Structure formats: C-alpha cells, structure tokens
Chains A and B, each alone.
Chain A
C-alpha cells in the first residue's frame, strides 16, 4: 500500500538554527500538507500546497516557515530560526482531488522536532 514517508523521524536542534523536514508524498497525489502537534495537544493545520504554490496557511505559518517541492517527489518544510515553542511532531499529508473532496488525506508517521 502506498504511503507518505517522512525523514528524519527525530530531529534535535539548537534554538535559532534552521531545520528542514522532508516528506515524500504518495506518488500520484497533487495536494500536500503540513500539520504539527505539540505534545498532548490537537493536530494543527499549518499549510497546504498545490500546483507549486501555497493554497492556504494558518496563523501559525508565519515568516519563519516555508515549504518547497524541490523535485518531483519531495515536499519540504523549512523553519528558518527555530524557537523552543517549535518543538512538536510535524506531520506531512497528501491527497488527490477525489479523496480531498471527501476529507481524506494520508499522513506520514511524523518527524519529532526537539528544539533545545
């Protein structure tokens, strides 16, 4: 069964450093997403991406964040200067048009980001 893969599974970084979280969406999907989940809290939408541009972003997705699809398979989330409060699980998701209309997205296993 095709799946969304994320690397690394755990990233430890110092405050102020840049991090790049990587995702390989399901190959025929065209809609891509990033979510985050702070420990013990709910899953929060960050950004959606389609046709090489951001479709929607939440209030969390400020100028410190950026997304990119550098090639035909990867989808990345960059945090320019990490803060302690960026520590969370970051989930990538993807979908196609038919499933998107039914609220179906496929999530990766996540990257745990720890900012020290």
Chain B
C-alpha cells in the first residue's frame, strides 16, 4: 500500500489559486492517484483522478510529474465553499481504501 504524505492544513483567500501537494514515494506502476473532498458532516466526494502528466476537469487540475512520486491538486480561484478536507489516495486498493488525515483547507474572505 503506497503511503501518502500531505500537509495537515492550509489557509487561503477567496479568488486565489490553491495547490496541495501529496508525496507518494512508493507508488507502484499500476497505481492511480485519486483525490477526494469532504465537507463537514458529509461523505467524501471523488473530485479527480490521474495516472501521469496533467488532468483537468470542471473542479480541479491534477499535476503529476514524470517520476509520479508526488502529485499536486490545483484549485483555481477558490471560494468560501471550497473550505473542506482534501484527501490524496494512491492505489488500486480494491477492497481496502484507507484515508489519511487529509489536508484541511480553510478559505477566508
């Protein structure tokens, strides 16, 4: 199981771009990188997934360097509603998906 390391917390202001980096030095060849978002009192929500290079969707971008030992979730122009915990997971873990502590992002006005 590839271990991930990400900052415990980050602060930002409305309108700024936020980049959250996750380290996963032991990533395996068949592992994907997946990010989830969790608002208070809600379940985690899948937001983006990638294998290499860059992936972009309507919510975020995910940058993965060639060695795949890290990944960066980029949230463009955050708003107050982006305040949440963001989790980086590496796998497939198939039947045993384990969440870490995540990164608690606080967006301030």
Contact = CB atoms under 8 A, between A and B. Distances in A.
Contacts of A84: none
A102 B32 contact: yes
B35 to A, nearest CB: 10
Given A42-B102, A43-B99, A103 B92 contact: yes
Interface centre among B93, B95, B101 (most CB of A within 10 A): B95
Nearest to A50: B95
Given A103-B89, A103-B90, A31 B95 contact: yes
Interface string A38-57: 00001111001010000110
B100 to A, nearest CB: 7
B11 interface: no
A76 B42 CA distance: 19
Nearest to A55: B95
B29 to A, nearest CB: 13
Contacts of B81: none
A77 interface: no
A112 to B, nearest CB: 7
B41 A112 contact: yes
Nearest to B92: A101
Interface centre among A48, A89, A104, A106 (most CB of B within 10 A): A104
Interface residues of B, number: 25
Interface in B32-62: 32, 34, 38, 41-46, 49
A87 to B, nearest CB: 14
A103 B96 contact: no
Contact of B97 (A4, A45, A109): A45
A15 to B, nearest CB: 23
A91 B43 contact: yes
Contact of B49 (A35, A44, A102): A102
Given A42-B102, A45-B97, A56-B96, A103 B91 contact: yes
Interface of B: 32, 34, 38, 41-46, 49, 87, 89-102
Question: Closest 10 A-B residue pairs measured CB to CB?
Answer: A107-B43, A48-B95, A56-B95, A103-B34, A43-B99, A55-B95, A103-B91, A102-B32, A91-B43, A101-B92
